[in-house]
Every structure is written in C-alpha cells, then in structure tokens.
Amino acid sequence: MSMNPRSLLGLIALVTTFDVNAGVIISSKDAPFSAIDAEEAKKIFLGREVSLSGLNVTVIFQKEGDTRTNFETVILGKTGADLTAYWSKLIFTGRAQAPVEVGSDSDVKAKVNSTPGAIGYISNGAADGSVKVLFKY
C-alpha cells in the first residue's frame, strides 16, 4: 500500500512542527547527579522517585506553554488537566511534595542553580554552560 501525496505532506508537517529532540533536563552545574534515562526522568517528574544520588530532589515545572506541553507529552505521557489531577492526588494525600513552578527557561536555570537538588527542563536552545544536562529528549 503506497501513501498518497497529501498524507505524506501531512506527515512531514507533523514531524517538522514537533521537533523530537526538543528539550533537556538539567540540574545545577555542581549537583552530584549523573546522566539519567527517560524512565528515571519520568519517575522523578511524576513524584515517584524523591532522591537521586543520595540527595533529595526538588522538581521544577514550567508554567503552561509549549515547552511544558512538549515535555509532558514526550516524557510523562500525561499533560494538562490529567497531569494536574495526578499531582493533586499526590499532594493532597501527602504522597509527594508539590513541584515548584517557574515562568521560563531562564527562570528554571536560575532556580536549579539556587536550590540544591533541583531538577528542571528547558528547551534545547536554552541549554548553556551554566547548567548540567542530565537527559536530552
């Protein structure tokens, strides 16, 4: 079965608007964390793993926007209201500490550098020498 030109164009459009390698998970430059994989990233950002390399983790989310939606879709498999419902359940039954929410890529970088054990995500283009990259997605 061959693909017709219209659906091929649609597929190309889909791939280019949704850049697969679109973000990085970061910590502060001197945090004692080594590289993590997608599975570990998911556990950390779903509140199932509270420490890494012996240090308590503070999870940093970004406020609603493309970077956040992309991260949630690719890494967590849950987004928007579904993810809020998931976290509400954990926070209000005391199963996990609520993640911190900050505004933008630069806010995330500032936060991970000022908070021991903080881990966040930023878009690919924002990664620079001021932070340590733990995982690229």
Partner 1 sequence: MNRNFRFAAYLLFTFVIPIARADVTFHGYGQTVVGTTFSNNDRVFPLQSTSSQYSADPNFQQNSNFALQAAAPLSDSISAVAQVLALGQEDFKPKFQWAYLTYHFNDTFALKAGRLQFPFYQYSDYFYVGEAYPWVVPPEAVYITETTHYDGINASAQQSIGDWYLYWQVIFGSTDTQAPSSGTSMLTISDHNMIGITLDSSYNDWLSLRAGYFLSKLSITGDGSANDPLNQVNIIVDSLKQSGLDTAARDLEAKDDLIQYYTVGFQITRWNWMILGEFAGLNLISPSFATNTESEYLTVGHRWGRFTPLLTFGHRNQWMPAGKILQSIPAGTPLYVNGTPINGIPVADLITTFADNPLLRAKDYYYGIGLRYDLTSNVALKIDFTHYDSHYTTSDYPTLIQAPGTPPVTNPQDANRLLAAVTFSF
Least Cβ distance, residue 5 to partner 1 (angstroms)? 28
Residue closer to partner 1, measured from CB, 91 or 126: 91
Residue closer to partner 1, measured from CB, 96 or 133: 96
User: Of residues 43, 73, 126, 137, which one binds partner 1 by CB under 8 A?
Assistant: 43
Question: Contact between 78 and partner 1 (CB under 8 A)?
Answer: yes
| d(C-alpha 100, C-alpha 97), whole Å | 9
User: Of residues 3, 11, 18, 56, which one binds partner 1 by CB under 8 A?
Assistant: 56
Least Cβ distance, residue 87 to partner 1 (angstroms)? 9
Question: Contact between 50 and partner 1 (CB under 8 A)?
Answer: yes
